[in-house]
Structure 1
Amino acid sequence: MTDIHATEPATDPRGDTPSHGIPFREAVRVWARVAALSFGGPAGQIAVMHRIIVEEKRWIGETRFLHALNYCMLLPGPEAQQLAIYIGWLLHKTRGGLVAGILFVLPGVATIMALSWIYAIFGNVGAVQALFFGLKAAVLAVVLEAVVRVGKRALKNNVMVALAAAAFLALFLFHAPFPLVILGAAVIGYFGGRAKKASFLAGNGHGKVGGNQVADAETALGEGIPAHARPPLSWSLKMGGVFLVLWLTPVLALLAVFGPGNVFSDIAVFFSKMAVVTFGGAYAVLAYVAQQAVDTYRWLKPGEMLDGLGMAETTPGPLIMVTQFVGFMGAYRAPGTLNPLLAGTLGGLLTTWVTFTPCFLWIFLGAPYIETLRSNRALSAALGAITAAVVGVILNLAVWFALHVLFGELHQVRGFGMTVDVPVLSSVNMASLVLTLGALLAVFRFKIGMIPVLAACSILGMLFGVATGSV
């Protein structure tokens, strides 16, 4: 086998190439490529990273990749972006993590912002409505597929199934706060792990990611840990402090200037809280975001959350980027003295800032201590319990979306402390039902990929609009 370390000089006169032989300039190009190809939610994005970083470039090996991924699974926020930050940091220190993390979200920021402008300006145009009518059916199928995919990985025994069921019922029947559901699952898993209960120690995580197994010894980084990956505690505290200030300064400034109740203050505080509790990926928290954005803050109408999710599914970058659309529309509809589009742009960028800046904090603060976390049996059990609860959370999201996609009218039934949204059967949208069934058939029966399903449903939605005269 060719010695990968011999293909490039160990040092560079300008300091561009570290000892492992990977020039920083090349890493920037590769991370830009990863970002441009990061479609399909976290599973697709992680697969793209694995194919390029592990299989093609052989910069790190399979074991190290999964090691980093399992650590990111412990963290709140988008695990795929955090994985990019971690690997970038591992290869090129702080600047590597910054470049990898920023590039990972940059295409999504630009495209979601452009689509938000189009939606705000032309949202009532028949062609736009027909396009998103088709997207909603496909998105529902994608979310249901996520329930099945995560369930197969997480529900390894009856205890995990019970946790998923309890999470679903707590959210669907009792509208329990999402953070409380996740915290409850984590506590149960933690103590189950400490008690060495077999049901909580069955293993978790993603398992094998790619088709080709690449040993760490065969890669540029090798098996050893780079010196910069073992910084002193002072470095971690310094970096943590810097990103904590970057994250919270705009939040505190908005609260000081405008006070609570202002749309920008509400956006900053709400999505900062989301950055702390979004365990389990975007699907797990979207139902809570949707309910708060629609019912509490009145930033969106129910169908508009699905429109935003359709945008995020069809653009590169983390799925949680849908929050930028939520922030945009919230500020657009309550602009104060600002131009609505300017207010929407500022609201969207503020949302993105408080959603993604904490990701750098978690990685730079905690990555050097990943080995300690990985070997902790109780923490691993807590992660497994959270992942099981996430199945119930995503199922709640799927049901919430289905009710609003398929039925034009819902009424609430209350009793015994429960509040249930019950559809009015006569309000069923037959066209949406047919499209949804077709999307489900394509995803589950014929295993067609997400992007073709989204594209086909969008086209069919447009054709339906033409046929009914709404376009």
Structure 2
Amino acid sequence: MQNTPSTDDPPRGPAVPFGEAVRTWARIGVLSFGGPAGQIAVMHRVLVDEKRWISEPRFLHALNFCMLLPGPEAQQLATYVGWTMFGVRGGLAAGMLFILPGFVTMMGLSAAYAALHGTPWVAALFFGLKPAVIAIVVQAVLRIGGRALGDRRRMTIAAAVFIGIALLGIPFPLIVIAAAVAGWLWLPAAVIDDDPLPPLTRMERRAMAMRSLRVAAVCAVLWWAPVALLAAVFGPGSVFVAEGVFFGRAAAVTFGGAYAVLAYVAQQAVGHYGWLAPGQMLDGLGMAETTPGPLILVVQFVAFLGAYNHPGALPPLAAGAIGASVAVWVTFAPSFLFIFAGAPFVEGLRRNAALASALSGITAAVVGVILNLALWFALHVLFGRMMDVAPLGLRIAFPDVRSLQIAPLVIAIAAAVAIFRFRAGIPAVLTGAALCGLAIRLLG
């Protein structure tokens, strides 16, 4: 009988020293600019193209599963790949290192924002980073699209998804469901067999289910333990408990990525709780968009200011740090729960031809989603104003061509030339772009 798989016994991965993997995941975390599209591009370039630690089909298979989950899909993808290589310790290392650089950066920027009312030199650096991220995201569209869209049917699904999101405003969960159904009904089956798995007996499936339930129970307890501790120390009515409960609840419904939940977070944090002002919410979003890590780290900024403005008996900076930390914990803890409990089953389903077809549809949809994110990001970086037009009753945000910003356009073109023509690495491109942004702001 085959050994029973478990969450601590992942599929066979490459013979990579754990220390090297940790250093690589730390590098990915530092370079994870540009929201989900840019982060997925970085992971794909490092893990699939450079290191060859995971095959293209398995990378897309993992990404498809993460797209179905609530929460930050890029961080979940990092956790999933880490799990496939080293089990739970690999998943924890990859997932936490993906968050850590952004967490540290946002904590420092939040404290500086609260204490110093803005950091112009940081804004100058990020002024140069944003256009460079456009080139990285375009590279992701070309790389993933070139390999995932192998026929006209997949191209059709990708185009339909792009139109559905960009022009029709169809909710993200419906997009994913429709793409899965289209793949199941329309695409030929393609089972991933680059790492064939033995069939599981009924006893082995039952054992795997029990292990996943135990992992889910432990993760669920750890999810809410800090909130319970803060309630015991500061009282159930403290701002820390309110933030923990609110952001923990929001983490369970963030289907469609950060943009899908930011409107709800802004409405509640500004209008209901009064943790910060509307303009401050926009400042926090700008910080999150231009720092490494998932965009949902904007909740860290919101929680920091909420606790900073309502510190109770604590020093404001200490209260802000506690509020920000608990918000990040309850936001990302569910991601580890979903991966550790679900990944063993998803890996086993690589044998299922019908599911493989459905996930192929989601793979094509991912290209459309990344293309939409790339376009959205490029328009908002390169143009100072957007106009709403309504052809045929469709409300479309269209750039005001008179507001084209020349400096970001030049930086974006230079970054694209460096990446596509000279094969420059992402660290060099981002460093050069940041220095260009700083020089432009200092000179003008």
TM-score with structure 2 length normalisation? 0.72
Mapped pair 1:36 → 2:26: yes
> Residues 217-256 of structure 1: matches in 2 within 5 Å?
231-247=207-223
State the SS of the aligned residue for 2:253: helix
Matching residue within 253, 261, 275 for 1:273: 253
Distance in 2 between the 1:296 and 1:175 partners?
23
Distance in 1 between the 2:138 and 2:131 partners?
11
What is residue 174 of structure 1 aligned with on the other side? 168
Stretch moving more, 373-382 or 107-116: 107-116
Amino acid in the other structure paired with 1:36:
A
Structure 1 236/333 Cα, relative in aligned 2: closer, same or farther at 3 Å? closer
Structure 1 62/172 Cα, relative in aligned 2: closer, same or farther at 3 Å? closer
Matching residue within 414, 432, 444 for 1:438: 414
Distance in 2 between the 1:386 and 1:105 partners?
25
- Equivalent pair of 1:173/1:418 in contact (CA under 8 Å): yes
What is residue 424 of structure 1 aligned with on the other side? 400
What is residue 437 of structure 2 aligned with on the other side? 461
Mapped pair 1:399 → 2:354: no
Mapped pair 1:323 → 2:267: no
C-alpha root-mean-square deviation of aligned residues, in Å? 4.3
Which digits, 9 at most, give the CA deviation of each residue in 1:375-396, with x for residues without a partner?
Answer: 1112212222112112111122
Structure 1 74/120 Cα, relative in aligned 2: closer, same or farther at 3 Å? same
Structure 1 231/104 Cα, relative in aligned 2: closer, same or farther at 3 Å? farther
What is residue 366 of structure 2 aligned with on the other side? 390
> Residues 34-183 of structure 1: matches in 2 within 5 Å?
34-38=24-28, 39-40=30-31, 41-42=39-40, 44-45=42-43, 70-71=61-62, 73-75=64-66, 76=69, 77=73, 78-89=76-87, 98=92, 101-102=95-96, 105-118=99-112, 121=115, 124-183=118-177
Structure 1 gap ranges (5+): 1-17, 19-25, 56-60, 208-214, 217-222, 279-284, 313-318
Structure 1 84/124 Cα, relative in aligned 2: closer, same or farther at 3 Å? same
- Equivalent pair of 2:176/2:365 in contact (CA under 8 Å): yes
Amino acid in the other structure paired with 2:357:
A
Amino acid in the other structure paired with 1:85:
W
- Equivalent pair of 2:189/2:357 in contact (CA under 8 Å): yes
State the SS of the aligned residue for 1:411: strand
- Equivalent pair of 2:251/2:334 in contact (CA under 8 Å): no
What is residue 412 of structure 1 aligned with on the other side? 388
Structure 1 45/121 Cα, relative in aligned 2: closer, same or farther at 3 Å? farther
State the SS of the aligned residue for 1:160: helix
Deviation at 1:302, TM superposition (A): 6.1
Structure 1 295/183 Cα, relative in aligned 2: closer, same or farther at 3 Å? farther
Matching residue within 161, 182, 188 for 2:182: 188
Distance in 2 between the 1:428 and 1:81 partners?
39
Deviation at 1:187, TM superposition (A): 2.6
Which digits, 9 at most, give the CA deviation of each residue in 1:56-104, with x for residues without a partner?
Answer: xxxxx978x9768845652333212222134322xxxx56655565456
Deviation at 1:30, TM superposition (A): 5.0
Which digits, 9 at most, give the CA deviation of each residue in 1:22-55, with x for residues without a partner?
Answer: xxxx977555434433354345446766899x98
Deviation at 1:141, TM superposition (A): 1.9
Mapped pair 1:201 → 2:210: no
Matched residue pairs, number? 394
Which digits, 9 at most, give the CA deviation of each residue in 1:141-169, with x for residues without a partner?
Answer: 22222222221122111121121112222
State the SS of the aligned residue for 1:329: helix
Stretch moving more, 139-148 or 363-372: 363-372
Structure 1 420/158 Cα, relative in aligned 2: closer, same or farther at 3 Å? same
Deviation at 1:373, TM superposition (A): 0.6
Structure 2 gap ranges (5+): 1-8, 10-15, 32-38, 270-277
- Equivalent pair of 1:272/1:354 in contact (CA under 8 Å): no
Structure 1 120/349 Cα, relative in aligned 2: closer, same or farther at 3 Å? same
Matching residue within 269, 293, 310 for 2:290: 310
- Equivalent pair of 1:134/1:461 in contact (CA under 8 Å): yes
What is residue 211 of structure 1 aligned with on the other side? none
Distance in 1 between the 2:63 and 2:368 partners?
21
Deviation at 1:464, TM superposition (A): 0.8
Distance in 1 between the 2:359 and 2:328 partners?
26
Matching residue within 432, 448, 457 for 2:424: 448
Mapped pair 1:364 → 2:340: yes
